[in-house]
Structure 1
Amino acid sequence: MRITFYRDKCIGCNYCVEAWPERWQMSKRDGKCVLVGGKKKGRVHRAEVGEHEREFNERAAAACPVGIIRIDD
């Protein structure tokens, strides 16, 4: 499963962190979320994660008010 996160559009609402703090954290530097274990390529951050995280990351994606988290198989 792959998580794609468009960090430059993050508004720092913290909903993803509340949904799954093991994968999402708030940056003290700029107040935006960080995809833990994600690799940056251009403006996009991606992480390959196990299926056991699906429910939590889908919850994080659904809670994001700006829709910048994608979950793909």
Structure 2
Amino acid sequence: MVIITLQRAKCIGCNYCVELAPAQFQMSKKDGKSVLLHSKEKKGFFTIKSPDETIFDNSIKAKEACPVKIIDVKQT
């Protein structure tokens, strides 16, 4: 299981996450911030839980590239 969390309010719209993990992230045309696809929001944190282990590597790359460190990725 892979758990990805995005603290969207702090996003600066750099687009690194979209370039590195396009299956999980896209940029909003409304405000230019990253959107974690198929996520659920709770108190400003957007989270997905996926049984697809193949998304882990690209998600870690996105986490490491994020200049404001608002992406968290865990594997359980």
**TM over 0.5: same fold?**
yes
Give the counterpart letter for 2:30 in structure 1: R
* Runs of 4+ in structure 1 over 4 Å off: none
- State percent identity of aligned pairs: 45
TM-score by length of 1: 0.96
Query: Which runs of 5 or more structure 1 residues have no equivalent in the other structure?
Result: none
TM-score by length of 2: 0.92
Q: How many residues align?
A: 73
Q: CA deviation at 1:27?
A: 0.1
1:4-43 mapped onto 2 (5 Å cutoff): 4-43=5-44
Give RMSD over aligned pairs: 0.7
In the aligned structure 1, how far is the partner of 2:49 from the partner of 2:23?
A: 14
Query: Which runs of 5 or more structure 2 residues have no equivalent in the other structure?
Result: none
